[in-house]
Structure 1
Amino acid sequence: MPVPAPQGGAPDSRPRPETAPPPSGTPWPGFPAPPSPPAPPRSRARRLLAPVATLAGVAAAFAYVGAVDPNEPGHYPVCPLLRFTGVYCPGCGGLRSAHAFAHGDLPAALGANALAVVGYGVFAVLTVLWLVRAYRGVPVRLAVPPNWWWGIGAVLALFTLLRNLPLGSALAP
């Protein structure tokens, strides 16, 4: 349906919309949507829930391993790689290390699996960082570059190789 022309001009041949305008918040075609209102800030208790729950889960696991001795047979499964090939994997001795660590025996923990003890320290530092940042309301982003993952893999491979050679027998559990 043509629109009448303004004074003295040709009639406007553009079609008129026959429907009502879209509901508020819905953009017209070709126009960007209006910005959505910002999300309300989360409470401190809500922000601390994930790091505290993670810490509680790890503490419960350490409490269990501290209470049930992995040096006594029958409580935990045997490492399949060690059982079938006789090769120590990077995790072999990890439960014995955690048991000794839970009892405060750091030399025994290092003797069972030194890399696991380093992992406990890295986990502790990252968890404290996570807790502090969550308490302050600062988002936590742990972006590990690919070359770090390659480095971690190389350290694990080197640790595995050394603990299975006669010269690295001190690293074997």
Structure 2
Amino acid sequence: MSRSRAPTRGAFARLAVPAGVLAAVAGAFAYVGSVDPYEPGHYPVCPLLRFTGIFCPGCGGLRSAHAFVHGDMPAALHANAPAVLAYLGFAVLWTVWVIRAARGRPVRVDLGPVHLWTLGTLLLVFTVVRNLPFGGTLLP
């Protein structure tokens, strides 16, 4: 007798968490897509920008998400390019998670110290460059 490849109840249970995460992220993007971050008063101001005048690596992230939702990739990249890379990275990791969960395999993302230090260094360099006079094109 051959085993059937039909999804089992266990497969649906394994997909519940990834589906919940996708629903939460889609809800957040839907909200940011419908509530314009360019209009003052809708979102809080970045505390680092407010008190120091320095743009943090996240500054422009809401504007980037708003443009991304509306399909305006040049505006999304201009507002915060690392955020766009993070959106795309999330999509890839989520897809891998779903495929592995459907197959009953665990998902492991092993980011070692080298990966984390590299990511932190890249974000630090981005932050420094966007706050220097010649980095004006990186400002949100």
TM (norm. structure 2) is: 0.92
Instruction: Give the deviation of 1:49 after TM superposition.
Output: 0.8
Aligned match for 1:123, one of 90, 93, 102: 90
Residue of structure 1 equivalent to 2:22: 55
Distance in 1 (alpha carbons) for counterparts of 2:134 and 2:105:
47
Number of equivalences? 133
Distance in 1 (alpha carbons) for counterparts of 2:138 and 2:82:
9
Do structure 1's residue 86 and structure 2's residue 53 form an aligned pair?
A: yes
> Superposition pairs for residues 89-168 of structure 1, below 5 Å?
89-168=56-135
Residue of structure 2 equivalent to 1:77: 44
SS of the equivalent of 2:82 reads helix
Counterpart of 1:131, as a letter, is V
5+ residue gaps, structure 1, are 1-40
Q: Which runs of 4+ in 1 moved over 2 A?
A: none
Identity of aligned residues (%): 62
Instruction: Give the deviation of 1:148 after TM superposition.
Output: 0.5
Instruction: Give the deviation of 1:114 after TM superposition.
Output: 0.6
Instruction: Give the deviation of 1:124 after TM superposition.
Output: 0.6
Instruction: Give the deviation of 1:68 after TM superposition.
Output: 0.3
Which protein has the bigger helix share? 2
Distance in 2 (alpha carbons) for counterparts of 1:172 and 1:161:
11
Q: RMSD of aligned C-alpha atoms? A: 1.2
TM (norm. structure 1) is: 0.75
